[in-house]
Amino acid sequence: MASHNGHQRAGPLLLLTIVTLLGTAADAVVFQTIMMNVTVLRPDLNMTAAAACECKAKCFVLPKCSAASYDITTSVCSMTYDAPCNVTTTFAPGVISLFKFVIREAFVTKGKTFNGSPDNLKKMCGAEGGVPLIINTKQLLREARQLVADHGIWLMWGANRVAWLSAYQTPKYGLYHWPDNSPVIGSIFTANDFFPALLADKMEVSVLRDDGKIGTLSEQPLFISALPVLCARTQ
Ligand SMILES: *[C@@H]1O[C@H](CO)[C@@H](O)[C@H](O)[C@H]1NC(C)=O
Ligand SMILES: *[C@@H]1O[C@H](CO)[C@@H](O)[C@H](O)[C@H]1NC(C)=O
Ligand SMILES: *[C@@H]1O[C@H](CO)[C@@H](O)[C@H](O)[C@H]1NC(C)=O
C-alpha cells in the first residue's frame, strides 16, 4: 500500500516528464529536413501563421501534410499533401521549409574511376546529374557514411570501404579545400579526421571512409581499385 501511494505521488511529475520527452522526440522524428530559402511548389493549402513555429505545428497535426513552407515576409504557411517522392521545391529567399522526410541530397556514382582529380570527379558527378559533394553538416556526413558503407569499395590497404571525396589539397597552400575553396577543417572535420590512405610522396586527393574519416592519397595511385564518387544532387 505504501508503495502504491509512492507510485501515485511520483505519477504526475513522471507523466509530465514523459510527455515532454515524447513531444521533443516526436517533433524531431516528424520533421527530418529543414531547408532555408526553399519553398514547396504547388501547395495544397495556404494559410497565415504568426511564425514558422506555428506553421510547423499546423503541418504537424495534419497527417497528410508532408512538407510546409513559411514565408517570413508574407506570413503565409503553405502545405503540400504530396508523397515525399513527388514533393518538388524551388529557390525562394526568405522562406523556410520543413519536411517530414529525409531529403537525400548526397549520392554515390554508379560509375567508378581510378582518377581522383577534381576535374574528373566533377565530370563523374555531372554525368549522373550532380556535383562533387561538400560535407559541411552532420546530416550530410551521416548520409555520406551510409552511402560509402553501402556502395564503397574495400581497398587492400584498409579495413574500411571508401569512395572518392572532393576534398583536394592544393600544393600551393598545403591544406585540403572543397571545390568551392572553403577549407575542409573547421566545419565538422578536424585534423584528427585525416589519415594517409596510401604511402605516397604526394598526398593530393581524398576518399571518405565508412567511419567518417578522410583518407588522403596521391591523385592517380598505383594498385588501387576503381572507386565510385560522392556527389550531391542538383535540381
Ligand atoms: C497557394 O499559394 C500559391 C502561391 O501564391 C498559389 O500558387 C497556390 O495556387 C495556392 N494554393 C491554394 C490551394 O490556394
Ligand atoms: C506521384 O505523382 C504521380 C503523378 O501525379 C502519381 O501518379 C503518383 O501516384 C504519385 N505518387 C505517390 C506515391 O503518391
Ligand atoms: C538565403 O538567402 C539570402 C538572400 O538571398 C541570403 O543572404 C542567405 O544567406 C540565404 N541563407 C541560406 C541559409 O542559404
Q: pLDDT digits over 8-33, tens only?
A: 343 333 333 333 334 444 555 688 88
- pLDDT of amino acid 223: 61
What's the CA-to-centroid distance between 91 and ligand 2, angstroms?
Answer: 23
Q: Are residues 166 and 229 in the same domain?
A: yes
In the chain, % of residues over pLDDT 90: 45
Tell me whether residue 76 is exposed, middle or buried, using C-beta atoms within 10 angstroms of its C-beta: 0 to 12, 13 to 18, 19 or more. Answer: middle
| Residue 120: inside a domain | yes
Whether 183 and 70 map to the same domain: the answer is no
Model confidence pLDDT, tens digit, residues 69-84: 999 999 999 999 998 7
193 within a domain of the structure (yes/no) = yes
Domain for residue 11, yes or no?
A: no
What pLDDT is stored for residue 218 in this prediction? 79
Q: Band the pLDDT of 180: cuts 50, 70, 90.
A: confident
Evaluate: CB of 37 within 6 angstroms of ligand 3: yes
Q: Check residue 140 and give its pLDDT.
A: 80
Q: What is the pLDDT of residue 16?
A: 37
Lowest mean pLDDT, pick from 11-20, 68-77, 208-217, 222-231: 11-20
Q: How confident is the model at residue 88 (pLDDT cuts 50, 70, 90)?
A: confident
Is the CB–ligand 3 distance for residue 93 below 6 Å? yes
Are both 127 and 144 inside the same structural domain?
A: yes
For the cut 50, the answer to whether the pLDDT of residue 2 exceeds it is no
In SS3 terms, 19-82 reads as: HHHHHHHHHHHHCCEEEEEEEECCCCEEEECCCHHHHHHHHHCCCCCCEEEEECCCCEEEEECC
169 located within any domain: yes
Q: Ligand 2 within 6 A of 86 CB?
A: yes
Residue 63 lies in a domain: yes
Burial grade of 207 (CB within 10 A; 0-12, 13-18, 19 or more): buried
Give the range of the structural domain holding residue 123, as residue numbers without chain letter.
106-233
C-alpha distance across the termini of the chain, in Å: 65
User: What is the number of structural domains in the chain?
Assistant: 2
Of the residues 78, 103, 128, which one is the last residue of a structural domain? Answer: 103
**Residue 143 is placed in which grid cell?**
548520409
Average pLDDT over residues 116-135: 91
Query: Is residue 37 domain-shared with residue 117, that is, in the same domain?
Result: no
Q: Which residue type sits at 154?
A: W
